[in-house]
A = this chain, B = another copy of it.
Amino acid sequence: VGADIENLVNEGAILAARRSKKVVEQIDLEEAIERVIAGPERKSRLINEEEKRIIAYHEAGHAIVANSIPEADPVHKVSITSRGMAGGYTIMLPEEDRTLMSRKKLNADMVGLLGGRAAESIVFDDITSGASNDLERVTKMARAMVTRLGMSSELGPMVYGQKEELIFLGREISEQRDYSEDVAKQIDKEVRKIVSEAYEHAVSIIIEYRDKLDSVAQRLLEVETITRDEFEEIFPTPVPKNSGTPEPQTAMPQMA
């Protein structure tokens, strides 16, 4: 359940990995990246066959969904090898470093994160604890859109709650509520709506490409790890991909 991985990837580990290229040149870079972002491989951890199948579908779900949304980053690798705390992982890498996140890009990432849970739900008619980290990240992103980035038209271009950076014997309180119960209710409603729409989007993609999902999951159970090339052979990107960085709606006039 590659959530831990994606977490690290999106929060800068890739960047760190790239910057350390010169340092790591002599060793296998690919392994270095994964070690950095997913912890050491844990060959000793035995996961039974039934659970392997769920993990395979979960990771395949992330990959299939991400590959079907224009703004999501390309799938770099999908694996059901156990690394660190995760039973599997999916790595998505942007073509270029990014310093800004747009509303559309954030929505795309949330749909991708919910692809694992959506796949479980469609395939198994049950859902597991394996998505808990994905759900935490989706919730955090949706809350940030509404309360820190002014991306909900209901709540407007302002922030809600005061961020506190208290390092008090290891505790970090991330937010102090400074708004009324009414606003809290509006925030909850908006966050819930953003997450629900992302989940419905993920489910619809899983249903549309169910056969590809089965193929990727089956392949993962056979070979454990699929790279970008093999993944795109099984499931060629069905949409024109873009970086998720907004472009002007009209052509820019040239200055004399």
Contacts and interface: CB of A to CB of B under 8 A. Distances in A.
Contact of A252 (B170, B217, B255): B217
A124 B247 contact: yes
Interface stretch (A6-14, A27-35, A154-162): A154-162
Given A139-B159, A149-B131, A218-B255, A248 B123 contact: yes
B255 A51 contact: no
A138 B149 CA distance: 12
Q: Count identical subunits in the complex.
A: 6
B249 A124 contact: yes
A254 B217 CA distance: 10
Interface in A75-110: 87, 96-104
A61 to B, nearest CB: 12
A128 B170 CA distance: 32
Interface string A108-130: 00000010010010011111111
A243 B50 contact: yes
Interface size class of A (residues with CB under 8 A): 35 or more
A179 B171 contact: no
B184 A185 contact: no
Nearest to A166: B171
A75 to B, nearest CB: 18
Given A51-B99, A98-B51, A249 B123 contact: yes
Given A157-B135, A182-B185, A168 B167 contact: no
A192 B126 contact: no
Given A50-B243, A159-B139, A215 B99 contact: no
Q: Which 8 A-B pairs have the closest CB atoms?
A: A124-B246, A180-B184, A126-B246, A50-B245, A166-B171, A180-B185, A139-B158, A100-B128
Given A53-B247, A164-B173, 19 more contacts: A50-B247, A51-B98, A87-B100, A101-B129, A102-B128, A103-B126, A124-B248, A125-B249, A138-B157, A138-B158, A139-B159, A158-B192, A162-B174, A167-B170, A168-B169, A180-B185, A211-B253, A218-B254, A218-B255
